[in-house]
Every structure is written in structure tokens, then in C-alpha cells.
Amino acid sequence: MVSSHKANIIFGHGSSVGRVREHNEDYHRVKMLTSPRGQLAFFAVADGMGGAAAGERASKSAIEVVTKAVSDYVDFIAAGNAAVAFEKALEKAILAANRKINREALENPQFSGMGTTLTVCVIMERKLYYGHIGDSRGFLIRKGELTQFTRDHSWVAFQVEQGILTAEEAENHPNRNQLMRALGTRAQVTVDIGILPVQPGDVFFLSSDGLHGFVHDFELLNELSRPSVNLHDAIEYFIGLANARGGLDNITGVVAQVSA
């Protein structure tokens, strides 16, 4: 699916259950909001865990809570109220989502172990604000280079940071899907919050591990840096590659292109 909005941002997004799972526990959203500070672009990816019903519930709940909080923030400043810095509001929203998911998991045995990754981005006033927890990823493609701006909160990523494993060993390690941090699995979590400058021509890409675990960085770069790339086709191409290489997990991608 592809859509164009004011604020010179074009989205492409899509998701697939893959070839092995019966249910899609990924959830994603793109949304444009009008604020006193101009158009605001919201996009997010969440990868749920804890079994079909629980995983689907956790990923959707996380994005719903944060979407409402961002919408409320816009309404609050539109009414002329002084608000906290947006990055603080975003962190507060994600922590609220964590509490909601964790509470439901504790109160309902069928949701025991429920949790989700979350990578959420908001473009406002030529800045990208992001909140991140888990091993979904956020990438920036700028001037022919791809940079991962999120950090995987996984066991293997920690081992690589410590110099215990190489990046190549981590790719195929049996514990590569073991998360050190996720939303909902604990009462209190630490969320990564960051701000990046936005330049004309930037492309931001979010994905669940069912996509970036099977599609190489150079393939992402080659496709998304093409001058006349169709974002809908790019997402379908990545989903097709991941499925052709096994489709062992749910596959989700969201791309936001800032017009030059």
C-alpha cells in the first residue's frame, strides 16, 4: 500500500504472515496529523510475541496507545497549551503501553508471556523523533548510504557489542531471536529515545525481524536509493524476498520518503 500526504512525505507499507506462521503477530501503522507546528508524520512497526492471540494483542495495543498519546499531544498544543518536549511525551507514551500490556498479561492467563517490540517514528519540524525497544529496526538511507539508527535489544547483539560474537556468527546463532528488552514482559523497561535531523531526500525504513532477517542491508539500500523507486513495489519486493528465503516469520516493512 502506498500513500502520499502533505508535508512532502510519501509512505509505502505492507505485511505478510510469511510461509510458516498461522497468524500475523506483527502490526504497523502510518498516519498524518495536522499540528500547529505543521504536518506530523507518524509511522511504527511492532512484532508481538507470546502466542497468536497474545502476540497480536500486544503489538496492536502498543501502537494504539502510542498513536492516541501522539494525537492527544497534538490536540493539547493546538489548544494553546504549553507541553513538555515531544521526546519526553513519546517516552511517556511507550512506557504507558508497557504498563498496559504487562498488566493484561498478569491478569489474564491466556496472555501470559505477552510482549512486543516497538519502533515508532514521528517526523515533525524537520526532525525525526523515535522510540525503540526490541529487535525491530529503523534505517536511514541518505545520499547513497544506509545507517541503522536503532540498536537491537537482543542477546546476540549484546554479545557482538562485547566482542564475544562476530556479526556473522550472530546472524546464524540459535539464540538470535532472544530479546533482552521488549514491551510488556516486565513492569518496568528502558526505552531508547532519539532525535535525528531530517533532510530532503531522506528515506526512513522500519522492519520487523522477519524482513531484515532475510533481506540484506545492501538489498535494502539498492532498492530504496533508486531515483524513481515506487515505495509500494519496494515493500512487496522485500516481502517477496523474505518469503522466497523461507518466510519463517511474519514480515513487515514501512518506508517514509521525504521529498527533495
CATH code of the domain covering residue 240: 3.60.40.10
Cβ-proximal residues to 258 (8 Å cutoff; 6+ apart), any chain: 8, 9, 123, 198, 199, 200, 201, 202, 203, 204
The model's pLDDT over 204-242, given as tens digits with 9 standing for 90+, comes to 999 999 999 999 999 999 999 998 899 999 999 999 999
User: Domain span at residue 254?
Assistant: 2-258
Q: What percent of the chain has pLDDT over 70?
A: 97
Q: What percent of the chain has pLDDT over 90?
A: 82
State the total domains in the chain: 1
pLDDT of residue 2: 46
Q: In the predicted model, is pLDDT for residue 158 greater than 50?
A: yes
Side chain identity, residue 142 = R
pLDDT of residue 15: 98
**3-state SS, residue 94:** helix
Residue 11: what are its φ and ψ, rounded to 5°?
-110, 150
Q: Which of 32-41, 170-179, 196-205 has the highest mean pLDDT?
A: 196-205
Q: How far apart (Å, rounded) are the C-alpha atoms in residues 241 and 112?
A: 33
Residue 44: what are its φ and ψ, rounded to 5°?
-155, 155
Side chain identity, residue 115 = G
The model's pLDDT over 5-43, given as tens digits with 9 standing for 90+, comes to 445 899 999 999 999 999 999 999 999 999 888 899 999
pLDDT of residue 170: 78
Q: How far apart (Å, rounded) are the C-alpha atoms in residues 110 and 92?
A: 27
4: which strand partners?
10
Across 198-211, b (16+ Cβ under 10 Å) vs e yields: beeebbbbbbbbbb
Cβ-proximal residues to 173 (8 Å cutoff; 6+ apart), any chain: 156, 159, 165
